[in-house]
Every structure is written in C-alpha cells, then in structure tokens.
Amino acid sequence: MRPPLTLPAGVGDIEHVERIRAEDLLDSIFKVATELVRGERTSLMLRDDASADFVIARAVGLADSVRRKVRVREGEGIVGRVAASKRSILVRERADGPVPEHDRKYRTESFMSVPILIDDVLRGVINVADPIGGLPFEETDLSTLEVLAAHIGACLVQKEQDEALQRLAETDPLTWLFNRRHFDKRLEAEANRAMRAEHLLALLMIDVDRFKAINDRHGHRVGDQVLRSVASALKQAVRLYDVPTRYGGDEFAILLPEADTEAASRVGRRILEKLSSIALPEELAKNNEVLSLSIGIATFPRPSMDAAALVEAADTAMYRAKYAGGGLRVWEHALADGPRGTNRATTREAMQPAPYLADPSRLATAELQTNIPRGLASEWNAVVVGKEGHVLTVAMPHPNSAAVDALSKVSGFAIYPVYSNALDLEATRLRLSTVQH
C-alpha cells in the first residue's frame, strides 16, 4: 500500500485561493491531481449548461479527437453513474467494475472517478486511469482525489463569482446593456481584429431626441422608462455578436463587427421599427408624445482610420441626423477633413444649388448603376438616375463635392448631382443591387 499523500503548500489555504485567479488555480489543481495520484490519463468533465451533458474541460493523456467527441449524460456509463449517485468509484482491477466506456485502450484496468459537488449539487466528475508503475490505485489515492475534487468545486464557485462580478462591472444597471468600460475595451479589440482580418467594423451612435424635455416635464422615473424602452429596442434589433452599449446619459452605441454601412443601416432601421412598437410610458402616451432617435453610422478602417476617429465620425453623423429632425445618417467623407472627423472648413467653391428628386426609384435602373462602382455607390449612398452622352445624373443625400469628384474620376463621366432623401436612396440602391445579381 502506498503511503498517504500530502497536498502542496497553499492548495488548502482559503486566503491563498482568494488571492489567485480562479481559472489559473483550477489549472494548477488539475495539474496537481494528475501528479499526486500518479495517473497517466486524467480528465475533468463539467456539466454543459446548454445541454446538461458532461463534457471534457481539461485532460491529460487523451487524444484531441476523444476529448472533442466525449459527451456523457447523467446515468450513462461510469461518469454518468458517478454523477447520478454522487458517489466516488475506485476500481483496482476488472473484477471491481467495468473499464471506462468512452475509450477501452487503457494500459491497466485500475481507475478512479470522483464527483465534484457544490452544496450537494453536482457540477462535474474528475477521472484518473492507468496508474504510473502499474500498481492499482488505492484508498489513499481516492482520498487525495476527493480532497482535490473539493478544491476544484471551490474554484468553480470562485470562477463563477469572478465572472458575475466582471459582468456587473461591465453592465449598465438601468438598461442591462454593456457600459462604457466594456465598450472601450471591445472597441480597441474589434478595431485591431478588423485591421488584421481586413474587414469593416461599423459603429452606431444613438441619441434619444428631446430627452431633456421629457425628463424636465415628466421626471426621472419616466426618463428611466424611456431609456429602458430604447435599450429593449436595441436588444431586439442587434445581431448575437454585436455590442449594444449605454454610452452615457441618453446616448447609446452599438459596435457591429464585420458590417458595412448597409448592414449597419439595416440594424438602425430595425431599432426604429422596434421602438415604434414598444408601449410608451403612460405620461407620454396620454399627451400623444412619441419617442424618436437620431442615429449616426460610421465604419472602420474606411473611412475612419482609427478607433477614436470612428467614434467621432459616428457622433458627427448622429448630430447631423439630430439637426435634420432625427432618423439615420451615414457619415460621409465630405462631412469631415482628415482622420479625426472634424467639420470641414474648405476653400473649395461652394457647390451650386441643384434640383431635389422626390422619388429616385422612378428613374433609376439596374443598367444605369453599372456606370459607377458598387463600392463607391454604397460609400456615398449615390444612385444613378440618368445618362445623356458623357453626363451622368446622380442622386445623393446632400451637397457633396468630394463625392462628385470621386465619381467623375472613377467613371470618366461628368456628374450632374441632384439630391434626394437618404433612406429612399438606400432602399433604391439595395433593390437594384439585387436585380443586378
């Protein structure tokens, strides 16, 4: 029989446990378990919250293919039986019990399985097989593994508490959206990822119109209800991997990884649609007041060349949307000069007044759109509505000399600009791009 084994200093010290990050300590204790009980194969199986199956979270001596495919339900196999009974199993030789079902290529017949319990609730099972040296596992080995299983349980509790505190630290308590702290961290990470992967990152900056007046007239309780309603619309409109954030006060932000202005505009329109269907606070409803938003959209790394410029560009577009009465506004090159997105003070001669086109879809055709690149058309929200000789008539949301210059240089045509509603232009562009395909 082997002599009793002792735990290394620090493993049983509660204060020590609290000082070390739970995830790192869990790795350390699992490594200690492998070394102390002298098993060639060790696996830690934890309950998968999504399916209630037990999956391998950590392992030594198991092939990756085995780790990936093993899923055990409570009551099935040895792990399942240990889980169901909440009792340890020690097998010295085949006569004591069956070998583990998921992999019969074990060098010896001796193994141990110990449940991991937290307040008598099962959270996982730790398994050790193939004792080094060929001697079967003994009761002292089982006792050591049970002590380590208790410490693993403590680590799991600490890990969950750490994760809960982290979520609280990065969540706005009123709206349960992410807060500014989380946004800033994710913005930097997503911007770096966008640069590496060479794809776009979109940002929506959102402001609640007339929010101060609502607060002043109806009080902060109604103001809080309004903010929660806007947050609800955001949650319903975003994709699973987007980052909806309460940026501060009555301002919100959404990071959209791998999204261009068209995808971001779709999310913006969904937000407005969802908000229109949410019941208003009684104080607003009885006065026939409505909630409206101003939404600015910008993308990175084109045209914004760094994360700070992306925020500034989307913010500029949002304020321009607010000045125009609310709704969506996509940041355009002509609104800014340089990467910081500051308003342009240009010496270029002001563009001459041009006609306003109420319904661009009546004149625009798929064939006409082939005269300018789709990327530029999307970037400037431009739609070709006419062609005569070497002149293209192009509808745009607002006077934009930079857009006219760019379209003329790329297409080789002279550009005659007319102006139209931005949302009508975008809808026309999207419809015609589908026809072109």
Average pLDDT over residues 288-316: 86
Residue 383 confidence (pLDDT) above 90: yes
DSSP 165: H
The residue-averaged pLDDT of 117-140 equals 88
DSSP 171: B
Q: Measuring CA to CA, how many Å separate 31 from each of 24, 42, 58, 139?
A: 11, 9, 10, 20
SS3 content of the chain, % helix, strand, coil (to 5): 45, 20, 35
Here the tokens at position 110 are 């001796």
Q: Which residue has the higher pLDDT, 394 or 108?
A: 394
The tokens for 144 are 């050591």
Is the pLDDT reported for residue 352 higher than 60?
no
Residue 390 burial (CB count, 10 A):
9
Range among 136-140, 349-353, 414-418 rated most confident: 136-140
CATH assignment of 360-436, given 3.40.50.1970, 3.30.300.160, 3.30.1490.120, 3.30.70.20? 3.30.300.160
The whole-number pLDDT of residue 422 equals 84
What tens digit of pLDDT does each residue of 146-187 get?
A: 998 888 888 888 777 777 777 778 899 999 999 999 999 999
The dihedral over CA atoms of 165, 14, 126, 69, expressed in degrees to the nearest 10, equals 30
Predicted local distance difference test score (pLDDT) of residue 309? 87
Task: Return contacts of 225-231, CB within 8 angstroms, 24+ apart.
Answer: 225/281, 226/250, 226/281, 226/284, 226/291, 227/174, 227/175, 228/174, 228/175, 229/275, 229/278, 229/280, 229/281, 229/291, 230/175, 230/206, 230/275, 230/291, 230/293, 231/174, 231/175, 231/176, 231/177
Fold category of 180-335 in CATH: Alpha-Beta Plaits (3.30.70)
Per-residue pLDDT tens digits for 334-348? 333 333 333 333 233
- pTM comes to 0.52
89 vs 179: CA distance, rounded Å: 47
- The CA distance from 330 to 11, in Å, is 56
Structure confidence at residue 187 (pLDDT) = 94
Q: Residue 105 — pLDDT band, cuts 50, 70, 90?
A: low
**pLDDT score recorded for residue 221:** 93
pLDDT at 27 over 90: no
For residue 16, what pLDDT band results from cuts at 50, 70 and 90?
very low
Average pLDDT, the chain: 81
| Architecture of the domain spanning 14-169 | 2-Layer Sandwich (3.30)
Question: Which are the contacts of 139, defined by CB distance < 8 A and separation ≥ 6?
Answer: 90
pLDDT at res. 365: 92
Q: What is the pLDDT of residue 295?
A: 94
Calculate what percentage of the chain has a pLDDT beyond 90: 30
| Segment 44-87, tens digit of pLDDT | 888 887 777 888 888 888 777 777 778 888 888 888 889 899 99
- pLDDT tens per residue, range 221-251: 999 999 999 999 999 999 999 999 999 999 9
Integer angstrom CA distances of residue 218 from 280, 284, 287: 13, 8, 11
* Residue in this structure with the two tokens 């776009």, named with its chain if needed: 200
Pick from 388, 243, 228, 385: which is nearest to 307 by CA? 243
Q: With cut-offs at 50, 70 and 90, classify the pLDDT of residue 403.
A: confident
Instruction: Give the pLDDT confidence of 205-218 residue by residue, as tens digits.
Output: 999 999 999 999 99
The whole-number pLDDT of residue 368 equals 93
Cα(128)–Cα(131) distance, integer angstroms: 8
| pLDDT over 50 (residue 8) | no
Going by pLDDT thresholds of 50, 70 and 90, the confidence category of residue 102 is very low
pLDDT score for 157: 83
CB 415 within 8 A of CB 407: yes
HSE, side-chain direction, 13 A CA sphere, residue 7: 18
**For residue 436, pLDDT beyond 80:** no
Return the pLDDT at 229: 95
- Output the pLDDT for position 242: 95
Domain parsing of the chain, residue ranges:
14-169, 180-335, 360-436
C-alpha 80: how far from chain center: 34
In whole angstroms, give the CA distance from residue 191 to residue 115: 43
pLDDT of residue 60: 85
Query: 289 versus 158: which is more confidently predicted?
Result: 289
Torsion of CA 212, 216, 220, 225, to 10 degrees: -60
Q: How far is residue 265's CA from residue 255's CA, in Å, rounded to a whole number?
A: 13
Q: Report how far residue 88's alpha carbon sits from residue 114's, in angstroms, rounded to the nearest whole number.
A: 4
User: Hey, do 14-169 and 180-335 end up sharing a CATH topology, with the first three levels equal?
Assistant: no
pLDDT at 303 over 80: no
Check if the beta carbon of residue 87 is closer than 8 Å to that of residue 64: no
